Amino acid sequence: MRYINNIFTIEKCKLNKVLKKFETPIFCYSGRKINENINNFKNSFKSFSPIICFSTKSNSNLEILKQIKKNGLGADVVSKGELMIALKAGINPKKIVFSGVGKTRSELIYAIEKNILLINCESKSEILEIENIARSKNKKVDIGIRLNPNTDAKTLKQISTGKKENKFGVSEKTLVEVSEYSRKSKYLNLKCLSVHIGSQILDYKPYQKMLNVLDKLIKKIDLNFDYIDLGGGMGIDYNKDNKKFNYKKYNQIIKKFLTKHKTKIIFEPGRSIIGDTAILISKIIYIKESSKKDFIIVDAAMNDFMRPALYGAKHKIIPLIKNNKMTNKKYDFVGPICETTDKFLTTNKFQKLNEKDYIIICDVGAYGSSLSSNYNIRPKLAEILIKGSKINVIKKRQKLEDII
Ligand code: LLP
């Protein structure tokens, strides 16, 4: 993805040409970038070849999941719907893990019937519910237990999950209790210890702390796990300031861990696979000038892309066509929704913009379309996938008639 002669281009497609056929706002992915990210991820950890379960919540577009499956990945799911779509994409059930604090009985029954790799449990009550279902089916179910390692992921507080005040996982004490209980059960096969401390983590040190906690705990309870599921969370360079996650270091500390514990590592990456593979193209509807700044009112809004409104996340905005006429005017890029938080970004330097110009919101592949809603009765967006010079519509724009 780069400018060629001042026009933003994905693979072999110049976006001004693409927009002759498609309306905005629109999500636009690069197929090549997805493959590249998966290869890089695999290569980073190739010495211990982990099971890589793509976190479906970060992007649950069926065609994207099919491409991810083609690259040999499994899936991390958190609902019956995600499990269904992962299976529909052709992902092998033996490469699917099911996480979440509130799996309902019917979701658990479905997962058990589908013989997935692991159900990662997050409470005593959930384990008892699984045992109860397994007994009724006279089946032994493979489970994992998610530990809350009380580790600060040093990321946004809204997307931290590994501290004891967070609802996720169980404490060490409960883990010891439930692992003893599961060991004795005829219907449970405790195979995995899982953790996930948060998302958009850029520093490897929280992972190091997490691995230390696991190391001590495993020694203390003297239990062998077939799998250790380290979750996802590896961050990406949204600000383009080269603050990149140190995969080399993470690989090293896991390798060290593996010299002490013989187990298979599972990862559940979402953002690191799909985050920087897509952009959101939007058109300027109006420019409203005010004394302090200009409001650039675009046709995309917080319902289409929630991260800035929900977490104060910053996503770069760039022009689709560069005109090289820079201005120091303050611009507020906002959507049409009746909420003050319906704002994407404030810039202090940008090229001079005009109504009907196109802009690009960067790095929206993860938690973009999957977090979108119909707020203000706005239809969900179309999504296109570019591969070389080919453009595939991988989701049609929702029709208003289907919502109303
Ligand atoms: N595994 C579990 C158990 C998770 O809860 C998550 C994300 C992942 C894996 C994938 O994490 P990733 O590799 O994508 O960081 N909507 C927020 C992020 C919420 C993350 C929720 N859990 C955002 O837009 O930043």
CA nearest ligand 1 atom 24, residue? 367
Torsion of CA 291, 294, 295, 300, to 10 degrees: 180
29 ligand 1 Cβ < 6 A: no
Kind and range of the H or E element at 145?
A: strand 141-146
SS3 337: coil
- Whether pLDDT at 251 is above 80: yes
Fold of the 2-29+275-403 domain: Lyase, Ornithine Decarboxylase; Chain A, domain 1 (2.40.37)
Query: Residue ranges of the domains in the chain?
Result: 2-29+275-403, 31-273
- Whether pLDDT at 199 is above 80: yes
Span 337-379, pLDDT tens digits:
999 999 999 999 999 999 999 999 999 999 999 999 999 999 9
233 ligand 1 Cβ < 6 A: yes
Per-residue pLDDT at 221: 85
Span 12-34, pLDDT tens digits:
999 999 999 999 999 999 999 99
Q: Closest Cα to residue 293, out of 333, 325, 322?
A: 333
Contacts of 222 (CB under 8 A, 6+ apart): none
Per-residue pLDDT at 228: 98
pLDDT tier for residue 149 given thresholds of 50, 70 and 90: confident
- Whether pLDDT at 300 is above 80: yes
Number of neighbours of residue 1 by Cβ within 10 angstroms: 18
- Whether pLDDT at 162 is above 90: no
Per-residue pLDDT at 332: 98
Per-residue pLDDT at 166: 83
Catalytic residues: 338
Centre of ligand 1 from the C-alpha of residue 161, in Å: 9
307 CA: nearest ligand 1 atom: 24
Fold of the 31-273 domain: TIM Barrel (3.20.20)
200 ligand 1 Cβ < 6 A: yes
Residue 164's φ and ψ, nearest 5 degrees, are: -65, -20
SS3 301: coil
Rounded CA-CA distance 243/239 in Å is 8
- Whether pLDDT at 220 is above 90: no
CA 247 to chain centre: 18
Quote the tokens at residue 179: 């692992």
Percent of the chain predicted with pLDDT > 70: 100
Kind and range of the H or E element at 253?
A: helix 247-260
Centre of ligand 1 from the C-alpha of residue 384, in Å: 23
- Whether pLDDT at 156 is above 90: no
Span 54-86, pLDDT tens digits:
999 999 999 999 999 999 999 999 999 999 999
Mutate to test the pocket of ligand 1, among 101, 247, 268 (most ligand atoms within 8 A of CB): 268
- Whether pLDDT at 181 is above 80: yes
369 ligand 1 Cβ < 6 A: no
**Crossing angle (nearest 10°) for helices 105-113 and 80-88:** 20
Per-residue pLDDT at 222: 82
pLDDT tier for residue 390 given thresholds of 50, 70 and 90: very high
Q: 69: phi > 0 → left, psi -120 to 50 → alpha, else beta; which?
A: alpha
This prediction has a pTM of 0.97
Per-residue pLDDT at 150: 86
- Whether pLDDT at 384 is above 90: yes
Quote the tokens at residue 374: 């119909």
Per-residue pLDDT at 97: 98
pLDDT tier for residue 229 given thresholds of 50, 70 and 90: very high
DSSP 321: B
- Whether pLDDT at 159 is above 80: no
Contacts of 72 (CB under 8 A, 6+ apart): 52
Per-residue pLDDT at 212: 96
59 ligand 1 Cβ < 6 A: no
Rounded CA-CA distance 369/59 in Å is 7
307 ligand 1 Cβ < 6 A: yes
How far, CA to CA in Å, does 172 sit from each of 107, 175, 285, 345?
Answer: 26, 5, 54, 42
Per-residue pLDDT at 38: 98
Per-residue pLDDT at 153: 78
